[in-house]
Amino acid sequence: MKVAITSTDNNVESIIDPRFGRCAFFTIYDTETNAIEFLKNPAKESSEGAGPAAVQFIAKQKVNKVISGDFGMKIKSLFDSLHIEMQIEKQQDKTILSILKGL
């Protein structure tokens, strides 16, 4: 399974980014191989539609689950239609590493 986590930077010591569509990076973690990659969010600087654009980017990465501090209102139906699970992380100062350890 592939999990995407919104991240403020491109390393495991970064904290979770509270914004989905405008997060700085997506941490992509493969639970089968333990591979981790950090991908810059191409939708971050979009003038509008950052959330839907980020959903399409995530879908292209073949992600099964996304963890973020929050999601925009339009995002749930898009993820539902793509069969991608959403999880909100309420602890806003949690590091990517601590989230990965909890998977």
Kind plus residue range of the DSSP H or E element containing 58: helix 50-60
**What's the token pair of residue 3?**
């999990």
Which residue reads 């991240």 in tokens? 7
Confidence of residue 91 (pLDDT cuts 50, 70, 90): very high
pTM of the model: 0.96
User: What is the SS3 assignment for 88?
Assistant: strand
Domain residue limits, the chain: 2-101
For 32, phi and psi rounded to 5 degrees? -85, -40
Please give the average per-residue pLDDT across 44-49, as a whole number: 91
For domain 2-101, the CATH superfamily is: Dinitrogenase iron-molybdenum cofactor biosynthesis domain (3.30.420.130)
**Is the model's pLDDT at 33 over the cut of 90?**
yes
The model's pLDDT over 56-77, given as tens digits with 9 standing for 90+, comes to: 999 999 999 999 999 988 899 9
**Percent of residues, the chain, with pLDDT higher than 70:** 100
